[in-house]
């Protein structure tokens, strides 16, 4: 394919020289031209004509200077947004994992929420281990949250001795590929007064005096809950895990997310493993990754609802959200709240606050934006309004 691409590039350079066309196509166009050249079996003259026609179409498609791209983007995302379901939850695909979709998710993305409703990760494995079921299951149990409750065989409250008696299930422990020693260590560390005898556990309250009182029964029950909920394995922030086999490989989906620690684990595919938490991506992988993630998430959310919005609009939103080096929200706490013009800010939200603060600080409005000029009734700097006329004094 490289030879053909070279041929196309050469033809373009030749045309540029011969006909002064000033062609500067993006790489995807060169790709498409090469494919058409081979696929349609074009002659050199036909290729030249195709390039000329493409140049015309490309120029027509260009955004004119002074066009309100932001407004168009807002409309293009906003209108399909009105058709989205208000339903927050829905089962995503084959997994039984709840993921926020539709309008609530889109709002989450553009608001740059720190705590999203349903963080989730897709964990992939490296080439050697993506078909190793045993390894995947072991890792899934290391990642996913397990509590004592998950490995119980028998559980009793002994009101006579005021102790919690539990029997662990060795089979379940083995099934979950957990380490017995580690479980015992966690139990001993959390409950000072615990006796571990093989599978049997006897745990009594840390408070030593066993004086008869009504409170102690309550205390015993609280202790029982504590024993059941004791976490014996898992990574911070991650709850349930779902193991799924795709056509070719094993994938783990999680409820909750901890990209940093998961990426540091052995056997994980460091290229494709991601989370849907944009802030986390920004912290772990950088601002450019966050930008790409905003685009991916917004596009997936829209296309899942059967809506198609041109990526360019979403890219513009993502560019603006990440232009300062951190993920900013659209809206009063982000982009709109940081506009330099007082009048523009006041026209958006919290009018009184902005006008009052501006008057206290003695702010000056240069009237360079659109909103300010509409407010005071001047032509707006947009389209043909964005250019002015200046007199050439030197001319006779």
Partner 1 sequence: MKIDIQDHMLVPKHEIMTEEEISDEFSEVDYDIKDLPKIKSTDPVVKTIGAEPGNVLRITRESQTAGVFVTYRIVED
Coil, strand or helix at 123: strand
Please say which residue, 28 or 384, places its beta carbon nearer to partner 1. 28
Please say which residue, 325 or 377, places its beta carbon nearer to partner 1. 325
Beta carbon of residue 283, minimum distance to partner 1 (angstroms, whole number): 7
Beta carbon of residue 260, minimum distance to partner 1 (angstroms, whole number): 10
Closest CA to 273 of 131, 145, 281: 281
Q: What angle do CA 207, 213, 215 make, to 5 degrees?
A: 70
Coil, strand or helix at 157: strand
Beta carbon of residue 264, minimum distance to partner 1 (angstroms, whole number): 7
Beta carbon of residue 295, minimum distance to partner 1 (angstroms, whole number): 8
Beta carbon of residue 315, minimum distance to partner 1 (angstroms, whole number): 8
Sign, Cα dihedral of 387, 388, 389, 392: negative
CA distance 212 to 234: 38
CA distance 297 to 105: 9
**Which residues contact residue 118 at a Cβ distance below 8 angstroms, ignoring those fewer than 6 apart?**
98, 99, 100, 255, 276
Q: What is the DSSP string of 209-263?
A: -----HHHHHHHHHHHHHHHH-EEE--TTEEEEEEEE-SSSEEEEEEE--HHHHH
Asked whether 52 and 46 are in contact (CB, 8 A), the reply is no
Burial class (CB in 10 A: 0-12, 13-18, 19+), 347: middle
Please say which residue, 27 or 134, places its beta carbon nearer to partner 1. 27
Please say which residue, 163 or 297, places its beta carbon nearer to partner 1. 297
Please say which residue, 259 or 343, places its beta carbon nearer to partner 1. 259
Please say which residue, 9 or 30, places its beta carbon nearer to partner 1. 30
Please say which residue, 228 or 328, places its beta carbon nearer to partner 1. 328
Beta carbon of residue 193, minimum distance to partner 1 (angstroms, whole number): 40
Beta carbon of residue 157, minimum distance to partner 1 (angstroms, whole number): 45
User: Which residue carries 């008869």 as its tokens?
Assistant: 212
Beta carbon of residue 346, minimum distance to partner 1 (angstroms, whole number): 26
Sign, Cα dihedral of 196, 201, 205, 208: negative
Q: Which residues pair with 196 in a beta bridge?
A: 201
CA distance 231 to 184: 12
Beta carbon of residue 1, minimum distance to partner 1 (angstroms, whole number): 13
Q: Left, alpha or beta for 241 (phi > 0: left; psi -120 to 50: alpha)?
A: beta
- Chain residues binding partner 1 by CB under 8 A are 26-31, 263-264, 266, 270-272, 274, 281, 283-289, 292-293, 296, 311-312, 315, 319, 322-326
- In angstroms, what is the C-alpha Rg of the chain? 31
Please say which residue, 166 or 251, places its beta carbon nearer to partner 1. 251
Please say which residue, 83 or 368, places its beta carbon nearer to partner 1. 368
Strand 238-245 with 250-256, pairing: antiparallel
């Amino acid at each position: 394919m490289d030879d053909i691409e070279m041929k196309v590039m050469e033809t373009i350079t030749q045309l540029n020289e011969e006909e002064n066309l000033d062609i500067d196509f993006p790489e995807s166009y060169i790709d498409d031209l090469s494919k058409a050249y081979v696929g349609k079996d074009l002659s050199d003259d036909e290729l030249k004509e195709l390039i000329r026609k493409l140049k015309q179409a490309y120029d027509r498609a260009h955004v004119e200077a002074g066009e309100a791209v932001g407004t168009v983007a807002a409309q293009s995302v906003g209108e399909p947004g009105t058709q989205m379901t208000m339903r927050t939850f829905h089962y995503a695909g084959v997994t039984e994992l709840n993921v926020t979709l539709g309008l609530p998710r889109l709002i989450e993305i553009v608001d740059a929420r720190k705590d999203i409703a349903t963080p989730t990760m897709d964990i992939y494995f490296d080439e050697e281990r993506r078909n190793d079921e045993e390894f995947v299951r072991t890792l899934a149990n290391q990642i996913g949250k397990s509590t004592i409750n998950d490995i119980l065989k028998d559980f009793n409250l002994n009101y006579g001795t005021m102790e919690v008696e539990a029997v662990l299930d060795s089979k379940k422990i083995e099934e979950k590929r957990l380490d017995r020693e580690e479980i015992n260590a966690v139990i001993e560390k959390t409950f000072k007064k615990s006796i571990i005898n093989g599978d049997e556990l006897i745990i009594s309250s840390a408070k030593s005096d066993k004086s008869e009182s009504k409170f102690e029964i309550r205390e015993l029950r609280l202790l029982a809950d504590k024993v059941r909920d004791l976490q014996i394995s898992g990574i911070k922030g991650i709850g349930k895990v779902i193991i799924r086999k795709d056509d070719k490989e094993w994938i783990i989906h999680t409820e909750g997310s901890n990209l940093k620690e998961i990426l540091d684990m052995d056997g994980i595919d460091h290229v494709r493993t991601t989370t849907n938490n944009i802030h986390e991506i920004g912290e772990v992988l950088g601002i450019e990754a966050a930008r790409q993630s905003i685009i991916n998430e917004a596009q997936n959310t829209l296309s899942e609802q059967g809506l198609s919005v041109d990526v360019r609009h979403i890219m513009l939103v993502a560019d603006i959200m990440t232009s300062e080096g951190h993920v900013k929200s659209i809206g009063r706490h982000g982009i709109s709240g940081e506009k330099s013009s007082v009048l523009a800010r006041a026209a958006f939200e919290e009018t009184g606050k902005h006008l009052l603060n501006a008057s206290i600080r003695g702010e000056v409005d240069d009237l360079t934006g659109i909103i300010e000029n509409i407010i005071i009734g001047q032509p707006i700097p947009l389209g043909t309004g964005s250019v002015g006329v200046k007199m050439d004094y030197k001319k006779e």
